Amino acid sequence: MSRKPWDLAFIAEPEEVAALRRIMRIHLGLWGLHDVIDGAQLCVSELVSNVITHVGHGTPATLAVSMSGTRLRIEVHDPDTRALPTLMDATSDSESGRGMALVDAIADRWGVQLLADRKMTWCELPTTLTSPNGHHAGPHLTRAEEVLDLYGGARQHVGVESSRLSAATAEEAAIAVIADLLHWLQAHGHDAEDALDRAQMHFESEVRVAGNSA
């Protein structure tokens, strides 16, 4: 899945926060990153609120979202290079200073970068992706990748490239694994077509369950 970086200009006003949260939810849903939606929305709220509070209402700003390896990276750009976010040891009763503490608790890491004409406050959230453009880690994918790695290594001696299989090579290897398993079932007196149908039913059922829980 391709997860292309995107950015959105906005005016730092309280009513914009809810709109940016909705946009974040939509984009992360399209990216299949349902597990980080809540955390990402909270980080967006705090980063934007920080601009409103410490830079000023009506400040032109930009939200930028991208992948940094397997982490989700959120950036908020604003034109004030003087008002720098700080991590405060705020108590639960404090009226201010809690925003970056929340970001610090949710994100793997965060920071502030000063540029020529603006500053960028960023944070990165961990995901369960196996690669930036890949899918979520899970028992099914883990087992499949282990089988493909082993299968690629076994076939390397007959001229099939292995190391880390390319997408096209991995697809061919997966098809070959399925075909070989069907041969194995048939050789041991099992109905290969029935097994394939049952496997398809299992796959479709698990996909539906995953979609409903997302």
CA torsion 92-97-100-102 (nearest 10°) is 10
pLDDT at 213: 58
Nearest to 78 by CA among 172, 19, 13, 163: 13
Phi, psi (degrees; rounded to nearest 5) at 52: -60, -45
pTM for the predicted model, two decimal places: 0.61
Q: Can you tell me the mean pLDDT for 20-33?
A: 93
Residue 207 reports pLDDT greater than 80: no
pLDDT at 159: 39
pLDDT digits (tens, 9 = 90+) for 109-162: 999 999 888 999 999 999 988 777 776 656 655 566 666 666 655 444 333 333
Q: What letter represents residue 11's amino acid?
A: I
Q: Which residue has the tokens 């960023």?
A: 122
pLDDT at 122: 96
Helix (H) or strand (E) holding 6: strand 6-12
Contacts of 100 (CB under 8 A, 6+ apart): 46, 50, 85, 86, 87, 88, 110
